[in-house]
Amino acid sequence: MLLSSTTLNGAVSNDSNNNITMSVGNTVIANVNSSGIYFESGKKAIYTGAVLQVVSTQVVGGFVTSSSSYVFATNQSISITSTVANSKFLVLNFTPIQLGDADVIATSSIRSSVDSYASNLTESLHVNYSPANDGWKMASPVTVLHSPSQPASTTITYRTYVKRNSGTDGVYYPDAWGQSFSFGFYVMEIAP
């Protein structure tokens, strides 16, 4: 419901910084700014830990690398724009990795545009102990809770990176053997 001077039986005003003040008579009942909504008692209307928004995309194309250094899995990227300052972001990627040889280790990570994709926010290990080639490693989701201390209206892009730690064959992220597929990649903004 949109509050107005009619529903408040008072006044709604905003300043040059788009901070909004709602008042009845000389009593301020709420302030709205880039950090959230606050009532006259000083209590925040959006409580810490509340999910403010969810952004999702689907990984539908394959990616393969045999690099022993991290490379961007070009099929896996997602962006979100913060609604308040200093919120946290829960990032979840459900894409499985397939390792082309037996006894191969790979590592995947999530990085963000906040630091120009220079460092890993988290790392996940993927191991194929299968005695035969081309064994699936249905990995646990790669997840991280990111706290970038950003201002409101900041767009952050998250990317998945992958590398081969051992072996010589490729790391497929994913390879569905010609079948159609769709794996979820999600970001949730969490109130500070």
CB count in 10 Å sphere of residue 143: 15
Pairwise pLDDT comparison (6 vs 185), residue with the higher score: 185
**Average pLDDT in the 50-79 region?**
93
Q: What is the pTM of this model?
A: 0.74
Whole-number Å distance between alpha carbons of 121 and 21: 38
Confidence check: pLDDT of 39 > 80: no
- Tell me which amino acid residue 18 is: N
* Across 18-22, 97-101, 103-107, 139-143, least confident range: 18-22
Cα 43 from chain centroid (whole Å): 27
- pLDDT for position 165: 87
- What confidence tens digit (pLDDT) does each residue in 77-95 have? 999 999 989 999 999 999 8
Residue whose entry in the numeric block shows the structure tokens 């979840």: 92
Q: Looking at residue 7, what DSSP letter applies?
A: H
Per-position b or e across 37-57, b if 16+ CB within 10 A of its CB: bbeeeeebebeeeeebeebeb
Mean pLDDT value of segment 49-60: 92
Q: Is 9 left (phi over 0), alpha (psi -120 to 50) or beta?
A: left
Domains of the chain: 5-39 (no CATH), 51-190 (2.60.120.760)
Predicted pLDDT of residue 138: 54
pLDDT of residue 6: 35
pLDDT reported for residue 2:
39
- pLDDT confidence band for 20 (50 / 70 / 90): low
Report DSSP letters for 99-134, one per residue: ESSTTEEEEEEEEEGGGTT-S-SEEEEEEE--SSSS
